[in-house]
Structure 1
């Protein structure tokens, strides 16, 4: 189904640029909806999932809240609050510096690693919804998106 049909637009876009921007935003929301469908059953947000993935990529090396913020996909997320929620669930540990919540070392726990593995297996089910492109097309799309941002 075309973008125009999806959003029930009756008049044409002013330009391909405008259509592309709307299409990227619409597709982003579509992907988030699909991801949230999988994450809902684990009682975790996409931002919390992102934090766990960042920490897991550290290979047992702790990082600070500020380093997490630098690597977040959603730069508007409150990383301190996200870490607090993950800490309460036992998925991360933190070594707090006195007087500064952001100056603490954060690390994924074994429970967090196990949980992340389970969630990742489930969320990878989204690939079924996105298997409309082959590897070469995904590579081209990634290249075009990188070019757009840089």
Structure 2
């Protein structure tokens, strides 16, 4: 569910404005995400989840444990396993057993995966610049700071 009806919220408390903000943020995120999904498919025959996995692995050149990867992406091990399996089959990711522990796998980008991801990441950055181009640099910084503060305020509670 996206939200409660605005009519049930007390306008004097500011909660209605907070709800409107949430709906705007959600709508904006969905629109941008949908456009990114279409462009990744069209230009790279890839998906946003594949991009996310490759992005996480790009940040960790030495590789990541599968459990750490799923935790970082906030998805289940099963979801990550399927994506990693396909990336391995495509030659973009290598999987190896962890030294001393045959039950766990470390995954990392291959050189081909690194090169492919760098092309996708450059396009992704251009697309975001285009899609959010109507927002000035000062406003971008301000919104980013506000969202960071918001995250910091509630993150420790969960």
TM range (shorter): 0.7 to 0.9
CA pair 106-146 structure 1, distance change in 2 beyond 3 A = same
Aligned residues: 135
Separation in 1, partners of 2:131, 2:29? 14
Aligned match of 1:92: 93
Kindly provide the CA deviation profile for residues 45-83 of structure 1, in whole angstroms up to 9, marking residues without a partner as x.
Answer: 11110111111111x3121011112221xx235111111
Separation in 1, partners of 2:49, 2:70? 11
Q: State the TM-score, normalized to the length of structure 1.
A: 0.80
Higher relative contact order (CA 8 A, sep 6+): 1
Aligned match of 1:110: 111
Provide the alpha-carbon RMSD of the alignment: 2.1
Instruction: Tell me by how many angstroms 1:20 deviates.
Output: 1.0
Aligned match of 1:148: 150
Question: Structure 2: which 5+ runs fail to align?
Answer: 1-5, 10-15, 153-158
Q: Which of 1 and 2 has greater Rg?
A: 2
Q: Given that residues 38 and 122 in structure 1 are in contact (C-alpha distance below 8 angstroms), is that contact kept between their aligned partners in structure 2?
A: no
Q: Given that residues 64 and 104 in structure 1 are in contact (C-alpha distance below 8 angstroms), is that contact kept between their aligned partners in structure 2?
A: yes
Q: State the TM-score, normalized to the length of structure 2.
A: 0.76
- Give structure 1 regions of 4+ aligned residues with deviation exceeding 3 angstroms: 11-14, 96-100
Separation in 2, partners of 1:62, 1:120? 18
How do 1:1-150 and structure 2 match up within 5 A?
A: 14=9, 15-41=16-42, 42-58=44-60, 60-72=61-73, 75-76=74-75, 78-96=79-97, 100=103, 103-126=104-127, 127-150=129-152
Partner SS state of residue 108, structure 2: strand
